[in-house]
A and B are shown apart, each in its own frame.
Chain A
Amino acid sequence: MKLARRGIMALAALLSLPAAAAGDPAAGRDKSDTCVGCHGIPFYVNAYPNYRVPKLGGQQPAYLVAALKAYRSGERPHPTMRAQASSMTDQDMEDIAAFLTQAPRHPSDKAEK
């Protein structure tokens, strides 16, 4: 009886795990080729509306995943980012976030505005 209860608890714990496994930074690096075209250029400017494309290096991985999911669902409006995110699986997002949070710094990114 005790054993059965433990079994049920273990099963519940398993089911409550997120669908995607923890991100793999090495896999994420290979999936980040398209990010770098805008986010890998210091001071790169989004054409319209006009603002600088955000820095992603060192950002919180769970936030990056949440942002990508919001682009994919359309909660966050941005045509280019929606197009990028719409082809990603949850695992892709986890991997990319795991890479970005510890990616190397662009040599010309000095602390700035």
Chain B
Amino acid sequence: MKRAVIRLDLKTLLIGAAALALPSLSAQAADHGAAGAAIDQLLPVCQSCHGEHGAKPIVPEYPVLAGQYASYIEHALKDYRSGARKNAVMKAQAANLTDADIAALSQYFAHQASPIYTFKLEQQK
């Protein structure tokens, strides 16, 4: 009896996962979470330099944002906003962002598929 229940649950889970896979991907593209409306207006501005999903900057001097730690992106944006980190382009972009905008943007970029990672030194040969 118990075994039958478990089998049913597994089957349900598998079918459910397959059925949900596609809808959840498109839902993710349309909805960026709580601050959805604001971020939909802000994202195109970021992406015009940092590339689609922040993963492909248009010039080599600009960083990849996709996959970077949210807390670091947040710190960077706040430093640009305050002027602690000096960069004319980014200061202008960050000037009017609210803390909520910054939090939403940081979360968005942190969760994108990313070419960046924590590196290690190769073993000395």
Contacts and interface: CB of A to CB of B under 8 A. Distances in A.
A105 B60 contact: no
A75 B64 CA distance: 20
A58 B115 contact: yes
Contacts of B85: 70, 75-77
- B62, B86, B116, B117 pick with most chain A CB within 10 angstroms: B117
Interface residues of A, number: 40
A49 interface: yes
A7 interface: no
A95 B72 CA distance: 24
B116 A58 contact: yes
B98 interface: no
- A29, A62, A100 pick with most chain B CB within 10 angstroms: A62
Contacts of A111: 67, 113-114
A49 B110 CA distance: 19
A66 interface: yes
A51 B118 contact: no
Contacts, number: 111
A49 B71 CA distance: 10
A79 B114 CA distance: 29
A30 B84 CA distance: 31
Given A63-B57, A77-B85, A113-B69, A55 B121 contact: no
Contact of B119 (A40, A52, A61, A62): A40
A103 B120 contact: yes
A57 B119 contact: yes
Contacts of B67: 55, 111
Interface of A: 29, 32-33, 36, 39-43, 46, 49-63, 66-67, 70, 75-77, 100, 103-107, 109, 111, 113
14 contacts: A51-B72, A51-B75, A53-B72, A55-B119, A57-B119, A58-B64, A58-B116, A61-B60, A63-B57, A76-B85, A105-B117, A109-B117, A111-B67, A111-B114
